[in-house]
Amino acid sequence: MILIEKGVDFCLKVFDPSDPEKISWLSTLKATPAIKHGDTIMTNVDDIAEYLEITFPDVPLQPADYDLLDFGCEIFGNFFRYINNKYEDQDSAFQEKVVANLTAINEQLVTSGGPFIAGEKLTLADCNLFPKLHHVLVALGHFKNFHVSDDHLMIVGYIGTMMQTNSFIKTRYPDSWVHARWSKYIKQQ
């Protein structure tokens, strides 16, 4: 997303996670997403974002409030605990934590005036948060029948806005790939 927002020419390689040939190539990178630029190979999302911001400064994406770069990051850990939970009687406690995270995101969108995390302009904060939020909502909707409530209208608008960005449209992959990624964590019936 960052490269597209910055207007940088690049070659995007998207792979189907069920394709063993692509997975064997990917294993040389150790993680995704990954970037290779000259002799530089990176797989840490934060390092990639910082590298791109420094290397391609013509279109700055750094939010004015540096703390927003990590905004909402707790949702992914709470999502993982929720989707990985094997005890049905504990689901509601994990779900409450995800809802609390969504409430915080919703409140930030209200505070910033939206439509993005930092306000009117898409920033690195959105490039960091939205892919995680997308995984959370797609996987939880599929496996736990969880959906964003009407109490989080700003998030609904945020999702719609982000899904219409050129950078998301060009890097989106099928929801079935998100399902496949997270299916191994679901309690076996």
Q: What is the pLDDT of residues 96-132, one digit of tens each?
A: 999 999 999 999 999 999 999 999 999 999 999 999 9
> Confidence class of residue 189 from pLDDT cuts 50, 70 and 90?
very low
Q: Is residue 81's pLDDT more than 70?
A: yes
pLDDT (mean) for 159-165: 97
For 3, 61, 68, 85, the CA distances from 52, given in Å and listed in that order, are: 8, 10, 17, 36
SS3 185: coil
Q: Is the pTM of this model over 0.85?
A: yes
- Which residues lie below 8 Å from residue 134, measured CB to CB, with a gap of 6+? 159, 162, 178
pLDDT value for 12: 81
Please write the tens of the pLDDT for every residue from 128-148: 999 999 999 999 999 999 999
d(CA 18, CA 67): 36
Per-residue pLDDT averaged across 185-189, rounded?
64
Query: For the chain, what percent of residues have pLDDT higher than 70?
Result: 89
Q: Identify the band that residue 36 occupies on the pLDDT scale cut at 50, 70 and 90.
A: confident
Q: What is the pLDDT of residue 22?
A: 59
Nearest to 99 by CA among 66, 146, 39: 146
pLDDT in tens, 8-23: 999 887 766 666 665 5
Q: What is the pLDDT, as a whole number, of residue 63?
A: 96
Asked if pLDDT for residue 157 goes beyond 70, the answer is: yes
pLDDT of residue 31 exceeding 80, the answer is no
d(CA 154, CA 103): 10
Q: What is the pLDDT of residue 28?
A: 60
